[in-house]
């Protein structure tokens, strides 16, 4: 049974589209952050962190995290969450 991935397409200043897989959302200090992994194949090992902000009309927008301290807090929270998920996995010995 295949698991369907949640994806999102973001556009840069020149209008170039990049498709990302949403690998998770983490909450840090009452803010939600999306952890996105590009699907273009060029940079499969690098995840990106975006803060999920809500505009006055209620629409959610992704904001680049530019503050180094904020970025590190989110990165550490995501790594801790990922480590917990990894430890909870049931692994089968394939030998």
Q: Quick one: pLDDT at residue 85?
A: 55
> From CA 36, how far away is CA 46, in angstroms rounded?
9
pLDDT in tens, 64-86: 999 999 999 999 999 888 776 54
**For the segment 5-42, what is each residue's pLDDT rounded down to a tens digit?**
799 999 988 999 989 999 999 999 999 999 999 887 66
Helix or strand run (H / E) with residue 52 = strand 48-54
Domain extents in the chain: 7-88
Is 79 in contact with 71 (CB distance < 8 Å)?
A: no
> Residue 89: which pLDDT band, with cuts at 50, 70 and 90?
very low
């Amino acid at each position: 049974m295949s698991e369907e991935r949640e994806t999102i397409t973001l556009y840069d200043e020149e209008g170039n589209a990049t498709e990302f897989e949403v690998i998770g959302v983490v909450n840090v200090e009452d803010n939600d952050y999306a952890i996105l992994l590009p699907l273009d194949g060029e940079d499969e090992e690098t995840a990106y962190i975006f803060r999920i902000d809500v505009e006055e009309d209620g629409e959610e927008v992704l904001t680049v995290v530019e503050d180094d301290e904020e970025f590190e807090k989110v990165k550490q929270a995501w790594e801790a969450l990922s480590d917990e998920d990894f430890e909870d996995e049931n692994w089968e010995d394939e030998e």
